[in-house]
Structure 1
Amino acid sequence: MELYNLKHPSQVVSFTEALTLGLGKDRGLFFPSEIPVLEDMDALLALPFVERSQKVLGAWLASEIGQDAVDSLVEKAFNFDVKLVKADDSKYCLELFHGPTLAFKDFGARFMAQCLNELAGDKKINILTATSGDTGAAVADAFFGLDNIQVVVLYPKGKISILQEKMFTTLGGNIHTVSVESDFDACQALVKHAFEDSDVRDGLHLNSANSINISRLLAQTCYYFEAVAQFKRQHNQDPVIAVPSGNFGNLTAGLFAKAMGLPIAGFVAATNSNDTVPRYLEQGDWLPQATVATMSNAMDVAEPSNWPRVEAIVEKMGWSLSDIKGVALSEEDTSDSLKALICQGYLSEPHAAIAAKALELTLSTEEKGIFLGTAHPAKFKDVVDKELDIELALPIELAAVENKDILSVTLAANFNQLKSYLFNVL
């Protein structure tokens, strides 16, 4: 597999190189030179999830690492369910939270961990990543205890739910966590700065497990195929898919899947008040504003890193950005959507509720669609309990960490402080 740096196209790398580097020169994102197109889609969609995923990822990777290696990586990473659940007559939720950390990030993080464990050999790897909530838990769980790999996770202090926080800050061992006195965009900027600093990047053999790492995005294409497969068993039409969007890795993966030939009628990019992309799609001006804290905190991102990949896919395929519908919802809208879903018999959480409402606002009378359920409602227990006036029981994964001590250190949003910390712990 060949990839190039979107900022410096002359920098061309293999998948294994992109996997271990994370980012290219000048913070550039790696992008595939070619997008494989899959044949006989009906037969592909008839396969079980794991077997189909092996073929989907094999189309990208088999030429470099071999199909047997791909098959093994997928089998080890994707060992949990993906469920399509009816919310009402026109909307279905693709539940992506049945993995070990109860969030969609398990797909990309587990696949990336398996890839690094198998392909990096004996090379020592230090992973630096930022999280707006669920990435931290998924990455920590996926890499916990792996030889030769140390992980540092930055997250915005006081801006993620306490249960999200405890899922990755209580492990210890090779997982190091830093509470940054700022917002997610500041955490992300610190990670990017670290990759620009040659002393840190090269001296510490840095990698990133954010959705900027191409391995995570390729893994995420697989559940879009599963969504369409389950949907088409019930409906003789292509679904519209609404994606709750923060850093826009999830939408990028969906666009890759469509480019591979997956029949998707259209995409809705659903955001909260951090509406940089919906405003851009409507007005044509890229004007990030200060990040706003919301109840859908994993989407509190004003400058999404993956957007250049979205535009690169659209350009490569000859599509138009106008084919992507952008919808931004207020806190009141989010609350109303949560209540509407529970009245229909479906218990959700703020991120999926935003996607559900955005889907409803954009579907025509003839269309049906899917919204992505990116996290278990109990990961946002405080919000869900308050908004719906209920008392959610904790699943065993969250109950296990509820009373554990947080092991994080707290730092200002200052690169020199972070640099000193990294050289001290890694």
Structure 2
Amino acid sequence: MNLYNIKHPTEQVSFAQAVRQGLGKDQGLFFPETIPQLHNIDELLALPLVERSQKILGALIGDEIPTDKLNAMIENAFTFPAPVAKVADNIYALELFHGPTLAFKDFGGRFMAQALATVRKDGKITILTATSGDTGAAVAHAFYGLENIEVVILYPKGKISPLQEKLFCTLGGNIRTVAINADFDACQALVKQAFDDETLRQTIGLNSANSINISRLLAQVCYYFEAAAQLTAEQRQNLVVSVPSGNFGNLTAGLIAKTLGLPIKRFIASTNANDTVPRYLQTGEWSPNATVATLSNAMDVSRPNNWPRVEELFKRNGWNLSELGSGALNDAQTETALKAQYAQGYLCEPHGAIAYQVLSEQLQAGETGLFLCTAHPAKFKESVERILDIELPLPEALDKHNKLPLLSDEMDADFVALRAYLLK
């Protein structure tokens, strides 16, 4: 598999190199030089999740990793289901919260851990990543206890849910967590500064595990096929997918699935009040506002890191950005949407509620709608209980971490301080 740096296309790397390196020159994102067309889609959709994913990722990655090794990586990573549930007439939910940390990031995080363990070279590796909620837990649990790999996770202090924080800030060992006194965009900026520091990168073997890393992104392609496999052939012909969007890795993965040949009619990018992309699609002007805290905190991103990959896909495929639907909800509208879902008998959380509501407003006659449920409702226990006036029991995965003390350090958004922290 050959990949190029979107900012500097002459910088080209293999899959293994892209996994190890994370980012290219000038913080450029790596992207596949070619994406194959899969012609046996119906046959693929008839296969179980793991077997199908082995064929999809095998086609994408090529023969760079021996087939038996790649198949084992996928088998070890995808150990949980991604069921589709009916929510309303012609609207379905893809539930991506059945993994060990109850969020969609488990697919990408676990595959990346397998990939890095396979392609790593000798020497120290330090995973540095920023999280607006769920990435932290998925990465922490995927890499926890792996030999000679240290993980440092930055998150905005007080701007993720208490249960999200407990899930990845209570592990210790090779997992270090830092509460940054700023918003997620500031955390992400610190990560980018670290990658621009060549001495730091070489000294600690810096790598990133958010959707910057191509291995995580490719893993996420697989659950779009899994969703389609659970729908009828007729439903697949007019399928519209609404993606709750923050950093836009999830939407990028869906667009790669469509490029591969998965029959998705169109996508909708659904955001909260941090609506840089919906405004851009309406006006053609890229004008990020200051990030605001919302109920759907994993989408509190004003400068989405993966947007260049989205534009690259549209350009390469000859698609027009006007074909991409979008919508944004404020917190009051999110609460209303969550109540509407619950009234229909479906318990969701703020991110999924936004994706559902925007989809329901834009779905046309004859179309089948699918929205992504990216996290278990219990990860947002306080807000879901308040909005719906119910009591939510904690799943065991959350309950055991909720009882443990936080082990996080605290820091201002200061790169000099972070650099010293990483080197110590």
Same fold (TM over 0.5): yes
Residue 172 in structure 1 maps to residue 172 in structure 2: yes
In the TM superposition, structure 1's runs of 4+ consecutive aligned residues that sit over 4 Å from their partners are none
Partner deviation per Cα, 1:3-56 (whole Å, 9 max, x = no partner): 000111110000000000000001000011101111211111111111000000
Residue 375 of structure 1, CA deviation: 0.1
Residue 232 of structure 1, CA deviation: 2.4
Partner of 2:101: 101
Residue identity opposite 1:355 in structure 2:
A
Partner of 2:129: 129
Partner deviation per Cα, 1:33-81 (whole Å, 9 max, x = no partner): 1011112111111111110000000001232112212111100000001
Partner Cα distance (1:124, 1:417) in 2: 21
Partner of 1:342: 342
Q: What aligned pairs does 1:8-407 form with structure 2 within 5 A after superposition? A: 8-232=8-232, 235=235, 237-407=237-407
Residue 236 of structure 1, CA deviation: 5.8
Partner Cα distance (1:192, 1:124) in 2: 20
Residue 201 of structure 1, CA deviation: 1.3
CA contact (8 A) 2:236 2:263 kept: no
Partner Cα distance (2:105, 2:234) in 1: 27
Partner Cα distance (1:341, 1:263) in 2: 27
Q: Which secondary structure state, in structure 2, belongs to the residue aligned with residue 309 of structure 1?
A: helix
Residue 234 of structure 1, CA deviation: 7.3
Normalised to the residue count of structure 2, the TM-score between the two structures is 0.99
Larger CA deviation: 248-257 vs 66-75: 66-75
Larger CA deviation: 361-370 vs 301-310: 361-370
Residue 316 of structure 1, CA deviation: 0.5
Residue 246 of structure 1, CA deviation: 0.2
Residue identity opposite 2:404 in structure 1:
K
Partner deviation per Cα, 1:210-262 (whole Å, 9 max, x = no partner): 10000001000000001111112673633100000000000000000000000
Partner Cα distance (1:345, 1:21) in 2: 45
Partner Cα distance (1:6, 1:61) in 2: 18
Residue identity opposite 1:271 in structure 2:
T
Residue 122 of structure 1, CA deviation: 3.4
Residue 121 of structure 1, CA deviation: 4.1
Q: Which secondary structure state, in structure 1, belongs to the residue aligned with residue 230 of structure 2?
A: helix
Partner deviation per Cα, 1:372-405 (whole Å, 9 max, x = no partner): 0000000000110010011100000001111110
Partner Cα distance (1:133, 1:403) in 2: 19
Partner Cα distance (1:124, 1:37) in 2: 38
Identity in percent: 61
Partner Cα distance (2:7, 2:81) in 1: 37
CA contact (8 A) 1:228 1:238 kept: no
CA contact (8 A) 2:131 2:184 kept: yes
Q: Which secondary structure state, in structure 1, belongs to the residue aligned with residue 365 of structure 2?
A: coil
Partner of 2:409: 409
Partner of 2:7: 7
Normalised to the residue count of structure 1, the TM-score between the two structures is 0.98
Residue identity opposite 1:397 in structure 2:
A
CA contact (8 A) 2:238 2:366 kept: no
Partner Cα distance (1:150, 1:103) in 2: 22
Q: Which secondary structure state, in structure 2, belongs to the residue aligned with residue 178 of structure 1?
A: strand
Partner deviation per Cα, 1:244-282 (whole Å, 9 max, x = no partner): 000000000000000000000110000000000000001
Residue 134 of structure 1, CA deviation: 0.2
Partner Cα distance (2:33, 2:185) in 1: 29
* Residue ranges of structure 2 left out of the alignment (5+ in a row): none
Partner Cα distance (2:124, 2:417) in 1: 23
Residue identity opposite 1:274 in structure 2:
N
Residue identity opposite 1:187 in structure 2:
C
* Residue ranges of structure 1 left out of the alignment (5+ in a row): none
CA contact (8 A) 1:150 1:175 kept: yes
Partner Cα distance (2:65, 2:2) in 1: 12
Larger CA deviation: 369-378 vs 357-366: 357-366
Partner Cα distance (2:209, 2:381) in 1: 26
Partner deviation per Cα, 1:142-191 (whole Å, 9 max, x = no partner): 00000110000000000000000000000000000000000000000000
CA contact (8 A) 2:151 2:176 kept: yes
Q: Which secondary structure state, in structure 1, belongs to the residue aligned with residue 163 of structure 2?
A: helix
Distance 1:316 1:409, change over 3 A: same
Q: Which secondary structure state, in structure 1, belongs to the residue aligned with residue 227 of structure 2?
A: helix
Partner Cα distance (1:403, 1:275) in 2: 36
Residue identity opposite 2:7 in structure 1:
K
Partner Cα distance (1:83, 1:234) in 2: 19
CA contact (8 A) 1:241 1:371 kept: yes
Partner Cα distance (1:322, 1:390) in 2: 40
Q: Which secondary structure state, in structure 2, belongs to the residue aligned with residue 126 of structure 1?
A: strand
Partner Cα distance (1:116, 1:232) in 2: 36
Partner Cα distance (2:231, 2:244) in 1: 19
Partner Cα distance (1:343, 1:387) in 2: 12
Aligned residues: 424
Partner deviation per Cα, 1:355-378 (whole Å, 9 max, x = no partner): 000101110022111000000000
